Amino acid sequence: MDSSVASLSSDAPTKQPFPFFELPSELRIKIYQHVLFIEHGKGVVDLDYFNDRRIAPRLTCFRACRRMHEEAYPIFYGSSQQPFRLFPVGGHVYRTKKPLLELLTPTYRGAINTIELRLGPGWERVPKCWHTGPSLGLADCISLRNLNIFVQIDPTDTTFKGHHGKGNDENTYKNLCVRWLQDILEQAPSIRKVQIDAWEGVEVESPMLNALASTVLLAEKRLTWGPERLKKLDKEKLRQARLDSMCGMEQLEDLMTSMVIGDQRTYAF
C-alpha cells in the first residue's frame, strides 16, 4: 500500500515555473500594462486612503526579481495615460506633510511622464504641503513630458467676492497658481505639452485660465485644451452662432420692412 502511494506521488507531474522572460518584449509590456494600470489606464495616482487596495497589490510584481522590477517600473510611472497628481486633494490634505512626488525616490521620479496639477481645492487656505520648493523633486523628473492642469474653481469670479481668506483679494490665488506653474516649467524644462481643462462652471473668459495659458505660451510650450473645456467652448460657439443668426434674421426683417415701406411710398406717388 505504501509503495503504491509512493509510486503515485512520484508519477505526479512537478509544476514548472512559467518562462515569463522568454516571451517577446512586446507581449511582456502588454502584460505589465494590464497588471499595473489602474482603472484601465484612466486613473490618476495620488495619495489616497484606498491605495493599499487600489495600487499596492499591483506593485507586488516589483518584488518578484530585479529584472521584473527594471522592466515594470518605467511602465507604471512612465505612462501618459496614468498621470501622477502633484498636490494631494481630499479631506486629508491639511494633514498631509509631503506630496506624493516628494515621497518617491529619484529613480521613480525620473521615470514619470505625466503629472496633474489640480487647482481650486483649498483656495481660501492653501495647504502647507502645496509647494514647488527644491524638496519636491521636480528637477529629478527628466522624463516628464506632459503637464495636465485642471481648474475646479476660479476665485476671481464675482461669486467669491468677500470670501478669499484673511488678507487676500480676488487675484491672490490666481497669482499663486501662476507662480506654481512658472516654477514647474522652470524646474522641469523637459515638459513639452501643457493641457488646461476646467469644470463647466468656470467661465470661458476666466482670468485664471487666461493667466495660466499666457504663462504656458510665454514659456514656449505647446498649449492644448482639455475635453471639458472643449465642450464648454463648443457650447459657447453654438450659442454665439444662434445669437448671430437671430441678429441676422432681425436685420433681414428690418430690411424687408423698409423695402415694403419704400414700395408703398413709391406706389403712393
Q: Identify whether residues 189 and 97 lie together within a single domain.
A: yes
State how far the Cα of 85 lies from the Cα of 45, in Å rounded to an integer. Answer: 6
* Contact predicate 106/150, CB 8 Å: no
Structural domains counted in the chain: 3
Instruction: Summarize pLDDT for 1-58 with one digit per residue, the tens.
Output: 555 555 555 556 788 888 899 999 999 999 999 999 987 767 899 998 888 888 999 9
Range of the domain at 53: 20-80
Q: Identify whether residues 114 and 178 lie together within a single domain.
A: yes
Is the residue at 12 inside a domain? no
Say which residue, 166 or 268, is predicted with more confidence: 166
Q: Identify whether residues 165 and 55 lie together within a single domain.
A: no
The three grid cell numbers given for residue 53, joined into one nine-digit string: 487596495
Q: Identify whether residues 50 and 99 lie together within a single domain.
A: no
Strands (E), the chain: 84-85, 114-119, 146-151, 193-198, 222-225
Say which residue, 181 or 269, is predicted with more confidence: 181
Is the residue at 14 inside a domain? no
Is the residue at 13 inside a domain? no
Q: Identify whether residues 241 and 143 lie together within a single domain.
A: no
Instruction: Summarize pLDDT for 188-220 with one digit per residue, the tens.
Output: 999 999 999 999 888 888 999 999 999 999 999
Looking at 80, 108, 123, which one is the last position of a domain? 80
Structure confidence at residue 95 as a pLDDT band (50, 70, 90)? confident
pLDDT at 266: 36
Structure confidence at residue 159 as a pLDDT band (50, 70, 90)? confident
Q: How far apart are the two ends of the chain, measured CA to CA in Å? A: 131
